[in-house]
Amino acid sequence: MDQILTAALTLAGVTLAFAAIAYAIWRSRHPRPVTAGSAPAAREYRLPKLPRRAAPEPDDVEISPSRLARISRQAPPDMPDEGEYDAAPDAAPPSDTEPPAMLDTALETLVSDVEEQAHRIDRDEAEAVALRLLPQIPPRDAISTNSWLGGRPRLAAGMEWPRIDDQPADFLAQIDCSDLPPDLWGGLGPREGALAFFLHRRRPEARVLHLRDPDHPVAPPFALNDAEGWFGPHGGLDLGDFASFAIRAFPEWPVDLLAIRAGDADPREAVAADAAQGGLADRGYDIADPAFHPFDWGSMTAMVALLEMRLGGLESDVEAGDASDPCAAINRDACERAREIIAIVHDSAARDTFSAGDATAVMAALHAIRWARAVRTVDPETGAEQVETITLPLTTHRPGADLWVQDYQTILFDRAKHAWCANPDNLSAPARAFYEPRWRAMAACEMAAMGGEPLRHLPDFDEDRDIVLLELPSSGLMSRNFGDGDILVVTIDRTDLAIGDFSKARAQLSS
């Protein structure tokens, strides 16, 4: 019984203690409100209400030096007399005729930024790539030709032929911008459309056009009959009594764009020893060879017309010479037989279709005719002059004894390249085998270029400012002669190229 009572008392004490603890916790979280006369109430913090109107700013108070001196108990400072200091000039209001200063500054800054962007390109990096315009020999596909020298430009539909000083300009070249390397000209310039280059017909003044939508080829509206122009075919064909035989046009020659970087072999420097057919004049050859046969009625009639001119001189020598001269009888007979062949050619050209067989027959007939010449030489041992009478086929060239063959070869060279540019199949296989290596060698010597530095010294060229748009050497292959065998260089300021302004392109001749 005592144990039960003890356990009940213990349980009651624990229950009272738990109740007391619970009450103390509740009381601490719910304090009793303070009545009047008791301890001060807890302060309640609230954000102040801001006025809806901005408080007026206090007026500036100006304290005179004397009053400030009384407050600070110091003597007033000496003030400068009025006018001792120069007053700052009042800013003039912007006028209607002059732009505001801020606008001028903004424009100057914009121009400065463009110039800085163009000139900050490191020159070595900008000129790390140059282009060589390699004539295609043979041309691959006239339809897909994108860049070419000479011939006809592909202008935009409805566009008139470009003029300089109110005169039709010579067409130089058209280059497809999409084929230009990205790093050419330091990345400046267009990479779409085409650049077409034109030149004044008598002086170095260029016009460069950026054609965005080139259309069909347009033929030049004039003939190259200006004696002061840039026309100059190979062999001096524009000079002398046989200038009328020249094809007075610039051949249209497709080109490949070859990028040349540091360390690359430059094809322009690979000059062949026998670059031109002019080397034939120093050795003997015979135009009865199929490589030198006429290939159409134009080349055939030109050949016999030249022969007729030279026969006139030969006949004059026969009449003026001694009747006993052994050459006189041979040459008189040669002239008669040759004139018969000439008459047959003119008659056939008027009514028959040309064939390679006709050319072979004519050349064989001319080869069968002999002509004679007295050749004077000096004996290297005795120094005595020796006279030798030689007899040659009318189609044979020998150094020191040529009647007309070398002039005919010059005419044929010019006509062959024009016919070949139109269609390589216009020439026979022997003719192509002879001419194409020589044209390729000439192209290496006369190669056009874009970018890089001028090949020769150019007086008005600033390497930090100017960019070479196009460089065209005088070229017998392209029938162009700039000055006295000079090089035409078309340049532009980097800044103008950066903004696409080709109207300021300049042309100069480097000698």
Q: pLDDT digits over 119-129, tens only?
A: 554 444 545 79
DSSP state of 125: H
Q: What is the mean pLDDT of residues 330-347?
A: 95
Closest CA to 128 of 176, 181, 87: 181
Q: Superfamily for 113-272+445-511?
A: YwqG-like (2.30.320.10)
Residue type, 285: Y
Backbone dihedral region of 204: left (phi > 0), alpha (psi from -120 to 50 degrees) or beta?
Answer: beta
User: CA 309 to CA 339: how far, in whole Å?
Assistant: 11
Give the mean pLDDT of the chain.
Answer: 82
DSSP-derived pairing of the beta strands 129-135 and 448-451: antiparallel
Contacts of 145 (CB under 8 A, 6+ apart): 139, 254
User: Residue 31's pLDDT is what?
Assistant: 61
Could you write out the DSSP letters of every residue in 376-408? EEE-TTT--EEEEEEEEETTEEBTTB-SSHHHH
Residues 244-272: tens digit of each pLDDT: 899 999 999 999 999 999 888 888 765 54
- Report the b/e string of 371-384 with b at 16+ CB within 10 A: bbbeeeeeeeeeee
In percent, the amount of the chain with pLDDT more than 70 equals 75
Q: Confirm if 185 and 126 have CB atoms less than 8 A apart.
A: yes
User: CA 109 to CA 116: how far, in whole Å?
Assistant: 10
Instruction: Please state the domain extents for the chain.
Output: 113-272+445-511
User: CA 149 to CA 173: how far, in whole Å?
Assistant: 4
The least confident of 2-11, 153-162, 173-182, 375-384 is 2-11
User: Residue 110's pLDDT is what?
Assistant: 64
Widest CA span in the chain: 187
Q: Cα-atom radius of gyration of the chain, to the nearest Å?
A: 48
User: Residue 33's pLDDT is what?
Assistant: 54
User: CA 345 to CA 294: how far, in whole Å?
Assistant: 12
Quickly state the pLDDT bin for 460 (edges 50, 70, 90).
Answer: confident
Quickly state the pLDDT bin for 344 (edges 50, 70, 90).
Answer: very high
User: CA 117 to CA 318: how far, in whole Å?
Assistant: 77
User: Residue 264's pLDDT is what?
Assistant: 86
Alpha carbon separation from 355 to 359, 408, 423 (Å, rounded): 7, 20, 17
What is this structure's pTM?
0.71
User: CA 396 to CA 24: how far, in whole Å?
Assistant: 140
Residues 132-173: tens digit of each pLDDT: 999 999 888 766 689 999 999 999 988 999 999 999 999 999
Report which of residues 462 and 14 the model is more confident about.
Answer: 462
User: CA 303 to CA 354: how far, in whole Å?
Assistant: 14
User: CA 183 to CA 261: how far, in whole Å?
Assistant: 10
